[in-house]
Amino acid sequence: MYIEVEKGIHVFVEDINPGGQNNKTIFFVHGWPLNHNMFQYQYNVLPQHGIRCVCMDIRGNGQSDKPWGGYTFDRLADDIAVVLETLKLENITLLGFSVGGAITIRYMSRYKGHRVSKLALVDAVSPSFVKDPDSPYGVPREQADALINQMYVNLPVFLSGLSPSFFNRNLGNATNDWFVNMALDSASYALIKLLQVAANENVEKDLSQIQAPTAIFHGVHDQLIPYKSAELTNQRIKNSKLFPLTNSGHGAPICQADELNKLLIDFVNS
């Protein structure tokens, strides 16, 4: 289905197992440079346990509209708010992956956790993507700028080179091709703008505003958002618990799907 989040701009939303037996719902927010299909290993399993899975493509990505603007954390959090309101979702678990983690954190702060009973962060870009005094484990700004510049030059080559560092182990050429093809469903300018926002914004001040029980799932071998960043996020969200995923890099929903699924089922039902 498509939901209008502002005049003339629609985002794609998929609702899997809307008749979930135990009335538990996870709302998934994907990360850069992917779309909602990155969570296929969750969609295959969680509905079997009565969990309704609602997922959206962030504007500019996947099947959503691809406007030139509107890629700030505030605007993307507003998009989530419109979707939750339109679908009348209540007491959900809000799950954000990578940059989607930063966006869900901003939503929790900006909307005071409205409609959300629990927050799940998976390999989240938090507290910041770029290193600064309050978040010393991010990448140097020069590295972030180099990543952005590569997208202007040759996006397919850039994505092909990124894929192996996204995963902790060699999952084969087919998985790498799947990753690249999914990313190429996005507008190239949207990918650039999202990474620019991640490099220039942060959620450091948002973390202390989160009141909901929070589970932080993070790959200990993450090369993009170091595990120490997850430890820092854990320290700054009062009611949070950190779950290390010992066989995962940045792509935990794919690298370690079985364990993550079990942890999510336990968290949702706790």
Q: What is the pTM of this model?
A: 0.97
Please report how the helices 99-110 and 188-200 are oriented relative to each other, as an axis angle in degrees rounded to 10. 60
Q: Are strands 51-56 and 9-16 parallel, antiparallel or unpaired?
A: antiparallel
What does the pLDDT read at residue 22?
58
Catalytic residue among 64, 98, 128, 135: 98
Question: Is 186 a catalytic site residue?
Answer: no
CA 259 vs CA 36, 95, 248: distances in Å: 20, 16, 10
* CATH number of the domain encompassing residue 75: 3.40.50.1820
Report the domain count for the chain: 1
Per-residue pLDDT of the chain (270 residues), as tens digits, is: 999 999 999 999 999 987 755 579 999 999 999 999 999 999 999 999 999 999 999 999 999 999 999 999 999 999 999 999 999 999 999 999 999 999 999 999 999 999 999 999 999 999 999 999 999 999 999 999 999 999 999 999 999 998 888 887 667 788 889 999 999 999 999 999 999 999 999 999 999 999 999 999 999 999 899 999 999 999 999 999 999 999 999 999 999 999 999 999 999 999
Domain that holds residue 75: 2-269
Question: Is 98 a catalytic site residue?
Answer: yes
- Return all residues near 65 (Cβ < 8 A) that are at least 6 apart: 8, 9, 10, 11, 59
Question: Is 57 a catalytic site residue?
Answer: no
The answer to whether 15 and 43 have CB atoms below 8 angstroms apart is no
What does the pLDDT read at residue 232?
98
* Rounded Cα gap, residues 225 and 221, in angstroms: 9
* Rounded Cα gap, residues 1 and 6, in angstroms: 16
Catalytic residue among 126, 206, 222, 229: 222
